[in-house]
Amino acid sequence: MTSTATPESGQLSIARERVLVLDFGSQYAQLIARRVREQNVYCEIVRHDLSAAQIAEHAPRGLILSGGPSSVYAPGAPKCDPELFKLGIPVLGICYGMQLVCDTLGSQVTSAPAREYGRAKVKVLSHDGLFAGVADEMDVWMSHGDQVTKVSDDFIALAKTATCPIAAVKHKSLPVFGLQFHPEVTHTPQGNLLLHNFLFGVCGCTGTWRLGDFAKEAVAQWRQRIGEGRVICGLSGGVDSAVTAALLYEAIGPRLSCILVDNGLLRKDEQGAVVAEFTNHFKADLHVVHGEKRFLKALAGVKEPQEKRRRIGHVFIECFKEEAAKIKDVQYLAQGTLYPDVIESGAAQNGNAATIKLHHNVGGLPAELGFDLVEPLRDLFKDEVRRLGGELGLPDDLIWRHPFPGPGLAVRCLGEVTKERLEILREADAIVVNEIKAAGLYRQTSQAFAVLLPVQSVGVMGDARTYEDAVAVRCVNTDDFMTADWSHLPYELLARISTRIINEVKGVNRVCYDISSKPPATIEWE
């Protein structure tokens, strides 16, 4: 991969200032990349074991070594190529990354006598370079059981805490730095300034990464690559597929055909909204497949979540293939794959993450379709996709629509999926969303939905005893969907949601509110 890209490479010239995050298994690796991009510097996550020669081929302005769960002195602990320190490329090690830097360059790392997890106070010993403009004392977020206990004569300590005498380091002759704490998390308020000092003061970046420029270059790139070819794009009603379609429509116009598979698992009025948006706004060639009966037949009697996903994926491919065969001269298939999809699915050649999800966009449709794959959003995070949608002129209602899982309501209908249970869930879900919108909190809430539980409980309605379904309401706030906290909605709003669901949705007599964070819970229930 080179810094000046061609359409074949999939990289844009706007990304000529590139910083690489070497991933050692940190839960924050993606957050580091996002924080760098927020400073208008393009950033990618790559494998930790790339050779120095492979790293040099990327022509990065800087390298960031992420944290990780291992101890650098443990057998089999992940390491980097020590030759990378001879490349002259600035390096910033974070947490495990700092320990690895110091260990590789002759310092000592041991188990800490006092582990640090959570907030801590750092005293800055030197304000040169990395700590320029930072207060003498700063709040930081620590998460380590090991620490650098002795540095070689080549290092200078830049900061300390009460229990960690070497909380930041600088190499005397190499452009190499280390931070024991995490500057990328919001719990380190001046962390963005530290990253800014590294990116602009040490690496010499100028900040050329702009989504507006990305949109222009991406349109030009895909117009050149596709030429006179025809593309089909699967629509789901979500922002990812919508922005994919919008970008390609800008590039190739009527040579884009969109397919919406109505699997009977969509939210209330979803099909109508998608059809209106993509026939009125884009004037796109839209094909709607009515597949509810096929999907429900495949799901009959199935309760296991992964089996639901597998069957839905199988029927979706069948429906998509049948409709695609009706469209002549198709050469390309477009998917709304995002950067987190690539990493979480273990599909990135440069990634270092295990497969977390099934039924992701990545590899979602089989090779035997015979189309070349087009993934124009593959290098973007969700928040970047939303901003790109704005650059492309998409309406706010579409851009800010909450994420919706690929298998649809099937993974929010716990237990067996039937038409009757889906109708209960669909009505309850609509009440949740509409009430949050009415309260003016939809944009402040990252995701909100109802879950139909596979349990019934005793209730009393009027003078009659009932034994009916329970619904859980799930609302979360998050920046990146890698971690999330439950939304602290007003009690009055929760009361209205509960009252309306119980009064208006036949078959429900109990509503619960999910107050679990991710981790340890996931956002979706299945």
Phi, psi of 471 (to 5 degrees): -120, 135
Given 184, 270, 323, 526, the catalytic residue: 184
251 touches 222 (CB < 8 A): yes
Which residues does 48 contact at the CB level (< 8 Å), separation at least 6?
A: 22, 23, 24, 65, 66, 78, 79, 80, 352
Active site annotation includes 171:
no
Between the alpha carbon of residue 295 and those of residues 262, 306, 307, 369, 448, the distances in Å are: 9, 15, 13, 20, 25
Phi, psi of 70 (to 5 degrees): -90, 170
**Closest CA relative to residue 246, chosen from 382, 391, 381, 360:** 391
- Measured at the CA of 283, the angle between CA 280 and CA 285, to 5 degrees, comes to 125
The torsion angle over the Cα atoms of residues 476, 481, 484 and 489, rounded to 10 degrees, is -20
DSSP state of 518: B
CB count, 10 Å around CB of 193? 18
Given 182, 196, 360, 402, the catalytic residue: 182
DSSP state of 279: I
Q: Rounded to an integer, what is the distance from CA 15 to the centroid of its chain?
A: 20
With b for 16 or more beta-carbon neighbours within 10 A and e for fewer, the 490-503 pattern comes to: eeebbeebbebbbe
Active site annotation includes 144:
no
Which residues does 96 contact at the CB level (< 8 Å), separation at least 6?
A: 24, 26, 65, 66, 67, 68, 69, 70, 72, 144
Angle, in degrees to the nearest 10, between helices 292-299 and 305-324: 150
User: Helix, strand, coil proportions of the chain in percent (round to 5)?
Assistant: 35, 25, 40
Given 17, 48, 58, 95, the catalytic residue: 95
Active site annotation includes 319:
no
**How far, in Å, CA of 375 to CA of 510, rounded?**
43
Tokens of 138: 């700063």
Strands 230-235 and 256-262: parallel
Three-state SS annotation for 455-490: EEEEEEECCEEEEEEEEEEEEEECCCCCCEEECCCC
- Report which residue type is found at 25: G
Strand partners, 260: 235, 288
Tokens of 245: 């379609």
User: What positions carry a catalytic annotation?
Assistant: 95, 182, 184
